[in-house]
A and B are shown apart, each in its own frame.
Chain A
Amino acid sequence: MSAVIFFIAAIGALAGAFGVVMLRNPFYCVLALVCHLISLAALFLLLRAQFVAAAQVVVYAGAVMVLYLFVVAYIGEADEPLHRPGGALRVLSPLFGLAIAIELCIAVLGTALKGINSKGAPFAPAFGTPKQIGQAFLTQYLLPFELASLLLLVAAIGAVVLARRRRGLDDGGLDERLHARLRPAFTGTMAESGGIAAGHIHEAQEVTIELPDRVGASSGSEPGDSAKEGGW
């Protein structure tokens, strides 16, 4: 029974991996990777790594892949050429992959590890449970655990810095619309911090009807100025 599940999951994982490399549309590539990850979670379950399998499905196939899908939908790329046009890499890279596969198979299967041809260590009841993993994380591997959390923090800040909207990169359409809206002073919005003077907001506050011409004329010079100095 476990052999049948193993072969189904292994074929699913390999087919998903091939799909990532071979499909033209990046959207379908991401979906193939989701299939691959779920098959891999089944393999983890066969290896009695329950917690890793659950984390794989929830974190990887759930959260990370949704992030990918958002970016693919944002960039909105159509089908693309699969290979680089006319490169030598087109022929060489599958051969390189095949060579690495053969070499690694020889290296892995030719080792003197006796456990490779066994079904693994004898059954231990608590193996791979969240309790055991949590204990290992908080006692023996506390330093890697803390370093991983620090790395996550750094990556989150880095992603915000990289992907934030810079002044001067856009054509200014959104900025104009933000500045033209009437709102009370000191509401703490991005438009307020982006250089609209408080006096203008006070002026605008008295006029309850929206007058885009007047507000656009009074604050129109500032986004134009700041748009010139923006950059990468």
Chain B
Amino acid sequence: MNIGWYLVVSVLIFCIGTAGVLIRPNPMVILLCLELMLNAGNLALVAFSRMWGGDDGQVFALIVMVVAACEVTVGLGLIVALYRRQLPVDVDELNELRG
């Protein structure tokens, strides 16, 4: 398959993730949609790495995976802390920082 097909799949996954972040009110599902967007970036990185024949894209795909794991741990820690304080786990209700 041509590289362009992989890029189109990556674009579609990224856009589904973007729409999910905007639609869903649950912060845990928002984290899942962020994972979708990061994975779309990973697919594009690996596809470009295949296109150029160099390893650099794959190296940075691994780095992106590390960053995603960190984001997941901190985000899930926040959600557990919200739940412990018996606050609503809903991004529309958590508007104290609006100023």
What is A's interface to B at a CB cutoff of 8 Å? 2-3, 6, 10, 13-14, 17-18, 20-21, 26, 29-30, 33, 36-37, 40, 43-44, 46-49, 51-52, 55-56, 59-60, 63-64, 67-68, 71-72, 74-75, 77, 80-84, 89-90, 92-94, 96-98, 100-101, 104-105, 108-109, 113, 115-122, 124, 127-128, 132-133, 136-137, 141, 144-145, 148, 151-152, 154-156, 158-163, 165-166, 169-170, 232
Q: How many A-B residue pairs have CB under 8 A?
A: 243
Chain B hits for A136, CB < 8 A: 55-56, 59
Check B16 for interface membership: any CB of A closer than 8 A.
yes
Q: Give the residue of B2, B8, B16, B39 whose beta carbon is less than 8 angstroms from that of A105.
A: B8
Query: What are 12 A-B pairs with beta-carbon distances under 8 A?
Result: A6-B5, A14-B16, A17-B36, A18-B16, A20-B33, A21-B33, A52-B58, A83-B23, A119-B1, A120-B50, A121-B53, A155-B74
Residues of A within 8 A of B4 (CB): 108-109, 116-117
Query: Smallest distance from the beta carbon of A104 to chain B beta carbons, Å?
Result: 4
- Residues on B with C-beta less than 8 A from A105 are 8, 11
Contact A162 B18 (CB under 8 A): no
Enumerate chain A residues within 8 angstroms of B11, measured Cβ to Cβ: 101, 104-105, 108
A3:B50 contact, CB within 8 angstroms: no
What is the CA–CA distance of A8 and B84 in the complex, to the nearest angstrom? Answer: 42
Query: Is there an interface contact between B51 and A159, defined as CB atoms closer than 8 Å?
Result: no
Q: How big is chain B's contact interface, by range? A: 35 or more
A48 touches B15 (CB 8 A): no
A148 to B69, CA, bound (A): 11
CB distance from B22 to the nearest CB of A (A): 3
Q: In the complex, what's the smallest C-beta–C-beta distance from B24 to chain A, in angstroms?
A: 7
Contacts of A21 in B (CB 8 A): 16-17, 19-20, 23-24, 29, 33
Residues of A within 8 A of B35 (CB): 33, 64
Residue contact B39 to A36, C-beta cutoff 8 Å: yes
Q: Who on chain A is nearest to B9 by CB? A: A10
Bound together, the chains give a CA A51 to CA B26 distance in angstroms of 33
Kindly supply a per-residue 1/0 record for chain B positions 29-65, scoring 1 wherever the CB is within 8 Å of any chain A CB and 0 otherwise: 1011101100100110011011111011011111101
Chain A residues contacting B3 (CB-CB under 8 Å) are: 115-120
What is the minimal beta-carbon distance from A112 to any residue of chain B, in angstroms?
A: 13
Residue contact A127 to B33, C-beta cutoff 8 Å: no
B66 interface residue, CB < 8 Å from A? yes
Chain B proximity of A106: nearest CB distance (Å): 10
A-B pairs with lowest CB-CB distance, top 6: A121-B53, A97-B19, A162-B77, A93-B22, A155-B70, A21-B20
